[in-house]
Structure 1
Amino acid sequence: MKILQTPVRFPPYIGGVESYTHDMSKELVELGNEVTVLCAKAKEESAYEETIDGVDVKRLDDIGKVAQTNIMPQFPISVLQHARQADIIHTHIPTPWTADFSALAAKITGTPLVVTYHNDIVGNGSIDHVASAYNHTALRFTLAAADKILITQPDYLESSDHLHRYAEKVEVNSNGVDVDTFRPIDVDDKDVERLGFSNESPNLFFLSVLDDVHEYKGLDVLLEAMSLLVERDGTTPRLVVGGGGELKPEYESLASELGVSEFVHFTGYIPDEDLVTAYNIADLFVLPSLSSDQEGFGLVVLEALACGTPVVTTEVVGVSDQIVDHDLGSLAQVGDPESLAETIITELPHSNKQIRGRELCKSQYSWKSSANELTHIYQRLI
Structure 2
Amino acid sequence: RGPAIGMAARLAAEKGVEVLLDALPRVLEIYPEARVLFAGQYRGVLGEEAYARRLAPLFERHRDRWTFLGVLSPQEMAAFYPNLDVIVVPSLNSTESFGLVQVEAMLCGTPAIASDLPGVRQPVLQTGMGEVVPVGDSRALAEAILRVVGNRARYVRPREEIVARFNSERTAAEYEALFERLL
Which ranges of structure 1 fall in alignment gaps of 5 or more residues? 1-199, 378-382
Q: Summarize deviations over 1:220-239 as a string: whole Å, max 9, x none.
A: 11111113333x14434110
Change in Cα spacing, 1:374 to 1:285, as seen in structure 2 (3 Å) is: same
Equivalent residue for 1:218, pick from 2, 16, 22: 16
* RMSD (CA atoms): 2.9
Equivalent residue for 1:344, pick from 119, 127, 145: 145
CA contact (8 A) 2:20 2:138 kept: yes
Q: Trace 1:1-382 onto structure 2 (pairs within 5 A).
A: 200-211=1-12, 215-230=13-28, 232-245=29-42, 246-247=44-45, 250=52, 253-256=56-59, 259-292=61-94, 294-318=95-119, 320=121, 323-324=124-125, 326-352=127-153, 354-356=156-158, 358-370=159-171
Cα deviation for residue 326 of structure 1 reads: 4.2
State the structure with bigger RCO (CA 8 A, min sep 6), 1 or 2: 2
Cα deviation for residue 339 of structure 1 reads: 1.3
- For residues 146 and 112 of structure 2, the distance between their equivalents in structure 1, rounded to whole angstroms, comes to 12
- For residues 300 and 291 of structure 1, the distance between their equivalents in structure 2, rounded to whole angstroms, comes to 15
CA contact (8 A) 2:6 2:38 kept: yes
- For residues 88 and 129 of structure 2, the distance between their equivalents in structure 1, rounded to whole angstroms, comes to 12
Change in Cα spacing, 1:273 to 1:210, as seen in structure 2 (3 Å) is: same
CA contact (8 A) 1:312 1:343 kept: yes
Question: Normalization by structure 1: what TM-score?
Answer: 0.40
Q: Which residue identity is paired with 2:108?
A: C
Cα deviation for residue 305 of structure 1 reads: 1.2
Identical columns (%):
26
Change in Cα spacing, 1:295 to 1:304, as seen in structure 2 (3 Å) is: same
Q: Summarize deviations over 1:24-63 as a string: whole Å, max 9, x none.
A: xxxxxxxxxxxxxxxxxxxxxxxxxxxxxxxxxxxxxxxx
Number of the residue aligned with 1:158: none
Question: Normalization by structure 2: what TM-score?
Answer: 0.79
Q: How many residues align?
A: 171
CA contact (8 A) 1:240 1:265 kept: yes
CA contact (8 A) 1:255 1:264 kept: no
In terms of Rg, which structure is larger? Answer: 1
Higher helix share: 2
CA contact (8 A) 2:127 2:162 kept: no
Cα deviation for residue 360 of structure 1 reads: 4.0
- For residues 37 and 92 of structure 2, the distance between their equivalents in structure 1, rounded to whole angstroms, comes to 20
Which ranges of structure 2 fall in alignment gaps of 5 or more residues? 179-183
SS in structure 1 at match of 2:117:
coil
